[in-house]
Each structure stands twice: as structure tokens, then as C-alpha cells.
Structure 1
Amino acid sequence: MIQLLSHQEIDLAQWEACLASCSHSLVYAHAWYLNVVTKNSWQALVEMKDGKYVSVFPLPLKKWIGHKQVYQPLFTQQLGLFTTSDSTHTAVEEYLEVLAQHFQQVQYQLPSTASFSLPTQKGWQMRLRPNYELSLAASYESIYKDYSQNLKRSLKKGAQASLHSTLVSSPDAVIHLFSQTKGKELPNLQARHYAILKKLVAQAQKHSAGEVWEIRQAGELLIGAIILRDAHRITFLFGASSAQGRKLGAMGFLLNHLIEQVSNQDIVFDFEGSEVPGVANFYAGFGAEPVSYLSLSFQRSNTSPSWTRTVFASLAKRLP
């Protein structure tokens, strides 16, 4: 049976145990992550068996025109259904049916499956969004062979400029660089959102799931990146580049360094995708494959659904 649990009713130890038993969990679904990006405003649909959680479906909540709605938080590309080998209810459509019974409005993003079909209730709409993912199971030499010629030339340029990737503790410099460059094109991105990102990095580092990388030249920050790690994937969450950094191909140099570090392992490098052609081509240059995910909208009224909040959540993806 699928139950809707309030935030106070969720057993966080059980939640984390369920994710640990799931072969396809995402770092965004951890309780500590959800607590930060929603400011502790989330509930969940949970399947229980013999007193333990065997499936979980997180529901970030906010008030919208006097009622609670499910939404996709900033810095959280996808959520969805996370099941274990003990799960009985394994079809995401079952959870969406329950979801629509309790909430008037939903904006939600989750992994796509070939068998997915929209729930039967009226008001659901769907669109596919592109992610880019690269398997790191092969050797670095094999992965490098599939790099585009443009990327290979860019990496040589970075090597000639003696670029060096450095792991740092604070995200302040990369966030400041973003706010002074790409951030100026995103007027909806405000100081409070950057504050959430800083807190998120601190929590990710506390749980050994977050890293901040920089490349500097003569003390000047060329590029910076915030990386998330778990047992299954490395996720490129956030990054910024100066004009000189772009000229030297510094972001590609850093991402190549991270890929070389963990090649030959059963891990996926998740670029977090892009609908901007130039950025998508940059990710594809690493040999990354497009992997679609679902962006769902539901509302009971006849008003046409708005996709603007999930577009905002993509930070106009993004950089290189």
C-alpha cells in the first residue's frame, strides 16, 4: 500500500536505508539534500512492508495561491520513484495517480522509461528534456578516443597554458563568478538562491558527496565547478567560467581531469544536460549520450500548464 507521509512522519533512517538498497538512487533524493533545497518543506509517498520502507517517492512542497503544490526545486534536476527488490508497487504511474488525488498542481521531473504512460486523470501533461550521460566503465584511453576533435584541441590548449585543477573547500568564488557572468542573464536567480546553494555544498561535503573545483591562472579564477558524487554517478551540478577561462577551454580541461580520475569504474558522469545547442554539443564532445527525462505537469483547472519554473530550475544550462 502506498501512503502519503508528512515531513514529520518520515523516518529519516528508514528513508536512507531504502535509498541505500536501491540500485538507481539519485543524490537529489537524500533527506539532507531535500531538507536544504526545500527548506524542510517536503512530504513523500512511501510503500511499507513489514514495517520498513521499500519504495519512496519524494514530494517537494510550496504554497501557491493559497494551496500546497508539488514542485521541482532549484538545483534538483530529477526526483521520482526509488524502489528496492522488496517493492510491490514499482510503476511510477501508481504514485502519480495517488499524487493527483492529494494536490491540485504538480511540476515534477523524473527519469523516463520506455513503458511510461500518463496517468488516467485529466490535467496531466508531459514533455521530454535532454540529459547527457557518459559511462566511465571503459579505460580512460578508450573514453578519450571518442572525444570530439574540438575537445582534443581544447585540451591541448589547456595543457600548453599549464592549467591545473585544484580541489578547494569553499564555493564562494565560483558562485561569485557565476553571479557576475551567466547569473546576470538570470534575473530570477537572487541572493537567497545562492545562499541555498552554499548551504547545499556544505551539507554535501559533510556527507562526503560534494566537491568544489577551481582552475586559476596568476591568481585569477578561470572556472569553477560544484560536483556531486555518490556510489552510482558523478554529477556536474553547477559551474562558472570567465571569458579567459572560455578562451583557454578550462572547463573542458577540468571535466576531463575528473573523468580521468574515475575511469574504468561502473560509474556514470552526469552532465545534467542542456536544451542550449552549444552547451549540448560541448557535452556530446566527451562522447556523452543524450538521455531523456520526463518533465510532468498536472493541474485540476483548465488553465494551460506553465513550464517556466522548471526552465528556471535548469539555470539556462549553462556554461562552457
Structure 2
Amino acid sequence: MKITYVKNKDIDRDRYDHCLKKSFNANVFAYSWYLDTVCEDWDLLIEGKYETLCPLPIKKWMGLTLVKQPPLVPYLGVYSTKHLTPEKVSLFLKAIPYNNIKLTLNHFNQLNTSFRKTTKKIAALDLIASYEKILDRYTPKGKKLLSQNDGTFVMRSIRSDEYISFLRQIQGRKITYYTQLSRIMNFALRYKSAGIYSVYSPRNELIGAIFLIKTNNRLYVIDCIENEEGKKRFAIFRAVNHILQTNCESNLTLEIPFNCASLTPLISFDFHQCLNFKKSVLW
């Protein structure tokens, strides 16, 4: 098996994205358009004619080259159109030609015993069941909230710029986060692979919103936000319930790769175990 290192300028993006589309473990965070948006730079390890891939997010720091995922990339790793063994994943990681590496692998990537393993949990829920069966996954508190009609309602009614404006009013983040998220939203919405669900109070005031991307039979919650009234009325939970209700009995999996602390007391998710890989004198 020969693994080749490819610089960003030499990546055949059509072949790269085609391989991802055919891969059994593809996710939105590895597609070229997404990495182009959120990474300072990214290079690639490949096997064969783009049959197995490992994208490498590159960051420069004090003259050093770091392989480190940006905030809007929860995991990457090795992707393939063929079966992936722990040995192959390990060989790809050993082939990374840098000394400072911090990556979270997708949950289909396993490592052999020579690697030290820590994990990151990713909440997920299959939507193939009926809504009544999905309701069985709700906790008593979640079921009680649904039985209470407090006048809130969910719609797909706001634009990406309105979402970003609402987000900035509530959360203080670096300007790069807002810029990158806005670009992701505009690209995904333009190609009709995303949606923004907004939650309104009985007074018709925006109190919460959630942004999702659909790809490779998965719905990814990329960002969600609720103001103080939204927290009191459990706006994000109501938006997720609406999404589950309208997408049940489908070959989709809802995945929440970022913070879901407000949802776990209300819905019993499954959790993917994603391995963390570190090689560094810095971390």
C-alpha cells in the first residue's frame, strides 16, 4: 500500500469529492468546499487513485506547521470506498509528515493497540422508526414538555444573515466564527442541502434557531442558539422535535457533533465514539 502526500494546490477536487460521496463513512466536514471555508490551509494523504483519503487541516503557529482541526470541524480522519482496518487507519496517521498533530477521527476509524486512545462522544439518533417509536427515546421531562402547549411554534422563516445577527446578539465569539458559519450557510442553502429552523414565542418573537446540513443520509446540526426566553421555553428541544417529527421513517440519522447539553436531559441519544489522536510536544 502506497500513501501519497498531496499539497492543496495539487488536489483533484472532483476526484476527491467523488470518492467522499462514494465512501461508506463520508461526512460533510471532509468535503472540499467545507474545508476550503474553515481551514487556513489543508493538504491530503491518498491511497491509490483517490480510493482512500485523509484530509489534513493545516495551521501555522510560531513557525511551526500544526495539523489541527478548526472549531467548525468536530472530526475528520480516514475515508474510503473500501473496508477500513485499524491497521490501515494507523498507517495513514503514521504517514502524516508533521510532529504536531491533534485530530479527532470519525467513528468508523479504529486504531491498533500501539496508539493511546481517548474518545469524544457524538450524539446521534436514527430516524428510520415512526415518530411514535422515536418518542420512546424522550425522557419523562421531554415528554412532559411536549404535552404542554405553551404557544411556541417552529418555522423555516429566516435568512442566514438574520440567523448570524441573532447569534451575535447572544453569543460572543471570534469574528472568524461568524464569517465562516455565514459562508457555510450560504453555500449549503444555495445548493438546497441545508435548512434553518426558527422558534417563535406566543408573541411571534424569535427565541431560538437551528441550522442543519443534509448529506450522505445524515442531518448534521451545525449550530443552534436560543435567547433567555428560548431557554425557558426549551426552544432548541422544540426545534429538534419538529425535525424528528418531519423526518421520521426515513433513511436518515440526526447527528449533533457540537454541544448538545440542553438536549441530553430530554432525549436519550445514541453516542458515536470518535477516537482522538495526538502527536505533539505542545499538547
TM-score, normalised on structure 1? 0.81
Q: Is the 8 A contact 1:110 1:294 kept in 2?
A: yes
SS at match of 2:222: strand
CA RMSD of aligned residues (A): 2.3
Q: Could you tell me which of 155, 160, 163 is aligned with 1:171? A: 160
Deviates further, 17-26 or 216-225: 216-225
5 Å-filtered alignment, 1:207-246, equals: 207-217=191-201, 218-246=203-231
Query: 2:279 and 2:54 mapped to 1: Cα distance?
Result: 16
SS at match of 1:111: coil
| Counterpart AA for 1:294 | L
Aligned-pair CA distance for 1:119: 5.3
Query: 2:47 and 2:265 mapped to 1: Cα distance?
Result: 38
TM-score, normalised on structure 2? 0.90
SS at match of 2:166: helix
- The answer to whether structure 1 residue 180 and structure 2 residue 169 are counterparts is yes
Q: Is the 8 A contact 2:129 2:248 kept in 1?
A: yes
Q: What's the CA shift string for 1:199-253, capped at 9, x where partnerless?
A: 1111122333222111123342110111111132111111110111111122111
Aligned residue for 1:53? 50
Query: 2:31 and 2:37 mapped to 1: Cα distance?
Result: 10
Query: 1:170 and 1:180 mapped to 2: Cα distance?
Result: 16
- Using a 3 Å threshold, how does the CA distance of structure 1 residues 196 and 47 change in structure 2: closer, same or farther? same
Aligned-pair CA distance for 1:273: 5.2
Q: Is the 8 A contact 1:127 1:294 kept in 2?
A: yes
Count of equivalent residues: 281
The percentage of counterpart residues that share the same residue type is 21
Query: 2:258 and 2:72 mapped to 1: Cα distance?
Result: 13
Query: 2:77 and 2:139 mapped to 1: Cα distance?
Result: 33
Q: Could you tell me which of 193, 197, 200 is aligned with 2:181? A: 197
- The answer to whether structure 1 residue 139 and structure 2 residue 130 are counterparts is yes
Q: Is the 8 A contact 1:56 1:83 kept in 2?
A: yes
Q: What's the CA shift string for 1:179-207, capped at 9, x where partnerless?
A: 333x24xxxx3122211110111112233
Gapped regions of structure 1 (runs ≥ 5): 306-320
Q: Could you tell me which of 53, 67, 72 is aligned with 2:69? A: 72
Aligned residue for 2:267? 286
Q: Could you tell me which of 297, 300, 310 is aligned with 2:278? A: 297
Aligned residue for 1:17? 18
